[in-house]
Amino acid sequence: MPLNPDQDAALAQVRAIALELPEAEERPSHGQPTFFVAGKQFAQFRHDHHGDGRTIVAVKTADDEEGPNLIGIAPETYSKVAYFGVGWVGIALAGPDVDWDFVGDRIARSWELAAPRRLLEAGGR
């Protein structure tokens, strides 16, 4: 499904945040814009994935319990990520009130969880 201007702007913002991180690269995965560091996925932009009607960025979580806890606390912001299972959470990117500093921090944190030790030891982000 084509992106409307708001969704296109959300993808551009996610892309700018993700690609600013050391050694980050973008390539499609299952038709979705996906971001990797050292071959490991750390974020994926999704719009209406399999007709779910949502625009999100999927990011890694610190452990298997963080995602369900976040969804329980703020279900309007966080969601399960179809086909990713535990260890990932979706962050809503719809609407005018997206806190891009918050989203950027979550993407960077996800990068840290995927990045090789050599990048983290060199100062990371």
Q: Give me the pLDDT at residue 75, please.
A: 93
Conformational region of residue 21, where left means phi above 0, alpha means psi within -120 to 50, and beta covers everything else: beta
pLDDT of residue 1: 57
Tell me the average pLDDT of the chain. 90
For residues 57-73, give the mean pLDDT: 95
Query: Model pTM greater than 0.85?
Result: yes
- Lowest mean pLDDT across 23-32, 41-50, 57-66: 41-50
Predicted local distance difference test score (pLDDT) of residue 106? 97
How crowded is the C-beta side of 34, counted as CA atoms within 13 Å?
A: 13
Give me the mean pLDDT over the 13-39 stretch.
95
CB atoms under 10 Å from CB of 18, counted, come to 27
Task: With cut-offs at 50, 70 and 90, classify the pLDDT of residue 123.
Answer: low
